[in-house]
Amino acid sequence: MALTPFKNEPFTDFSKPENAEAMRKALEKVYSEFGKTYKMFIDGKWVESASGETFKSINPSNKDEVVGVFQRATVEQANEAVEVAYRHFDYWKRIAPEERAAILLRAAELMRRRKHEFSAWMVYEVGKNWAEADGDVAEAIDYLEFYSREMLRYAQPQPLTAIPTEHNEYFYIPLGPVVVIPPWNFPLAILTGMTVAALVTGNTVVLKPASDAPAVATKFVELMIEAGIPDGVLNLVTGPGGSIGDALVKHPKTRMVAFTGSKEVGIHIYETAAKVQPGQIWLKRVIAEMGGKDATIIDDELGMLWDDAIKAVLAGAYGFQGQKCSALSRLIVVESIYDKFVDAVIEAASKLKVGPADENYPVGPVINEAAVRKIMTYIEIGKGEGKLVLGGERAEGNGFYIKPTIFKDVPEDARIAQEEIFGPVLSVIKAKDFDDAIRIANNTVYGLTGSAYTLNPAKIKKAKEEFHVGNLYINRKCTGALVDVHPFGGFNMSGTDSKAGGRDYLLLFLQAKSVSERYKF
């Protein structure tokens, strides 16, 4: 199978009238499908909850609108899905890597044709504006294309040192059933990346999407079925993470768990998976990509980068309402330019408009009412820790809207400077100089992304060496990682640094086998 070299899927230019019109039509199509009831997919069959219980997915831009109704799986059905994946593993692992890759490539082409439709589902189900949703779909397509090529590379004979008396081989084999637990904030991209990495390497999958984004997950599974994934190889169960997620993680036939989400849930999964269950014959492998408390450092040697740095702060802090593990939540500014730069950021942020995602406002809703309560609680905490200079209240509308918020003069050890808020709240911290700024940036349990703005080569070198994050960006925003351009994953309590979209990622879903055949006696 000969393929052209990988290249990233281009983003859609919505300033072109034809692209904007295509997006509006996709939004109309998806809106016309609101309120439908969907089933789970287990062993090649669409099935209802054994208990008859369902739950609703709500449009966060308009909380009175039901995107869809979904099945609340029972623990027994979750266990059944793992058993199904285990039974089909023996078949799927023997399918040639080229055939598995071909399914992913067909899926990429199908998704490319329906790019705006997948974007529209995310606009309505999780509140992404057009560009954020389009970037999510582009990343999902990139994973399909990139991991296909990566599997073909890993399937090649691996180099070994030869000796004259033996023929030796070293090759990779899959692990077994993989439980994939993706987040709601990148409901297509991260879900796709973890799922197809498991599938293309020969593992079977039980996919348990976030309960705030089951429609996007269902549409992905429908697409994979159309692309040719065999029955029982990919299974979909929906329901609460507590009971259903725990059952999937605990099952003795679960071989691996791939998770992206909060620190608290990630730690719980890591802990749960580590306990060997009765009948379990392996130690479970876990990918746990968790949260962040990401910082951007603004040095006083900015020069021509001044305006770009302000734009990067706004994009990092308020893109998708700050609901990214990579989002900017700590702005660390050197004191000699502190007041001037912070005033410029406040002025720029004050111009951001808040409104429904389908109307493509720069700032949309947060995901649900629980998120609103959490964010507003942190804002109240922040009023006692720093100086509220912008926002700090809910915005108008029949959705989960919060105004872009800025606290300045925040102590580096304040709760709003240490704990992940996951909303449009920015804490501004003053640093004595660039060295002090790096020290402050590293003063957190997290280590996911960070950025530093400076034109001083010595300071850039220092940041590369000492800014302890998995993804460091110099003179650009701290969000927006591209597949095979910025392999993504973090240090410390940001997780296991699995580097999604990197050239070693598929190794996490494989195990190496060494075979030696003596032929000279």
Cα angle, residue 262 at apex, residues 269 and 321 outer, rounded to 5°: 160
Pair (279, 394) in one structural domain? no
Residue 26 domain-assigned (yes or no): no
55 pLDDT band, cuts 50/70/90, is very high
Of residues 322, 292, 265, the one with CA closest to residue 445: 292
Entry pTM: 0.97
Residue 71's domain is classified under what CATH number? 3.40.605.10
Cα angle, residue 436 at apex, residues 434 and 439 outer, rounded to 5°: 115
For residues 250 and 280, give the distance between their C-alpha atoms in angstroms, rounded to a whole number. Answer: 10
Task: Say what angle helices 214-227 and 97-113 make with each other, to 10 degrees.
Answer: 120
Candidate list 80, 132, 150, 325, residue with the active-site label: 325
Residue 418 domain-assigned (yes or no): yes
Residue 520 domain-assigned (yes or no): no
For residues 91 and 99, give the distance between their C-alpha atoms in angstroms, rounded to a whole number. Answer: 13
Q: What is the pLDDT of residue 145?
A: 98
Q: What is the pLDDT of residue 242?
A: 87
Pair (234, 371) in one structural domain? no
Find the mean pLDDT for residues 414-429.
98
Number of domains comprising the chain? 2
Write out pLDDT tens, residues 216-227: 999 999 999 999
**Partners of 320 in the beta sheet?**
none
CA 103, chain centre distance (Å):
22
Residues 6+ apart with CB under 8 A from 461: none
**Average pLDDT over the chain, rounded to an integer:** 97
Candidate list 80, 289, 412, 420, residue with the active-site label: 289
Residue 112 domain-assigned (yes or no): yes
| φ/ψ (deg, to 5) at 427 | -105, 130
Active site (annotated) includes residue 289: yes
- State yes or no: pLDDT of 521 exceeds 80: no
Q: What is the pLDDT of residue 179?
A: 98
Q: What is the pLDDT of residue 437?
A: 98
For residues 289 and 292, give the distance between their C-alpha atoms in angstroms, rounded to a whole number. Answer: 10
Residue 194 domain-assigned (yes or no): yes
Tell me the torsion sign for CA atoms 320, 190, 325, 327: negative
Q: What is the pLDDT of residue 275?
A: 98
| φ/ψ (deg, to 5) at 425 | -125, 125
482-520 as b/e: b if 16+ CB within 10 A: ebbebbbbbebbbbbbbbbbbeebbbbbbeeeeeeeeee
Write out pLDDT tens, residues 438-477: 999 999 999 999 999 999 999 999 999 999 999 999 999 9
Q: What is the pLDDT of residue 58?
A: 98
Write out pLDDT tens, residues 200-258: 999 999 999 999 999 999 999 999 999 999 999 999 999 988 889 999 999 999 999 99
- State yes or no: pLDDT of 402 exceeds 90: yes
Pair (142, 190) in one structural domain? yes
Pair (341, 278) in one structural domain? no
2 pLDDT band, cuts 50/70/90, is confident
Pair (274, 309) in one structural domain? no
Residue 103 domain-assigned (yes or no): yes
Pair (343, 237) in one structural domain? no
Find the mean pLDDT for residues 2-11.
95
For the chain, what percentages of helix, strand and coil (3-state, to nearest 5) are there?
A: 40, 20, 40
Residue 138 domain-assigned (yes or no): yes
Pair (281, 300) in one structural domain? no
Active site (annotated) includes residue 478: no
Q: State the residue range of the domain holding 321.
A: 294-492
Q: What is the pLDDT of residue 164?
A: 93
Write out pLDDT tens, residues 475-511: 999 999 999 999 999 999 999 999 999 999 999 999 9
Write out pLDDT tens, residues 66-120: 999 999 999 999 999 999 999 999 999 999 999 999 999 999 999 999 999 999 9
Cβ neighbours around 415 below 10 Å, total: 15
Q: What is the pLDDT of residue 340?
A: 98
Residue 312's domain is classified under what CATH number? 3.40.309.10
Share of the chain above pLDDT 70, in %: 100
Pair (237, 299) in one structural domain? no
Pair (391, 504) in one structural domain? no
Task: Tell the residue number behind the tokens 């308020």, with chain if given.
Answer: 318
Pair (362, 444) in one structural domain? yes
Q: What DSSP string runs through 163-187?
A: -TTEEEEEEEEE-SEEEEE--SSST
Pair (487, 504) in one structural domain? no
For residues 476 and 311, give the distance between their C-alpha atoms in angstroms, rounded to a whole number. Answer: 9
- State yes or no: pLDDT of 1 exceeds 80: no
For residues 68 and 73, give the distance between their C-alpha atoms in angstroms, rounded to a whole number. Answer: 16
Cβ neighbours around 222 below 10 Å, total: 15
Write out pLDDT tens, residues 21-39: 999 999 999 999 999 999 9
Pair (321, 357) in one structural domain? yes
For residues 329 and 234, give the distance between their C-alpha atoms in angstroms, rounded to a whole number. Answer: 37
Residue 471 domain-assigned (yes or no): yes
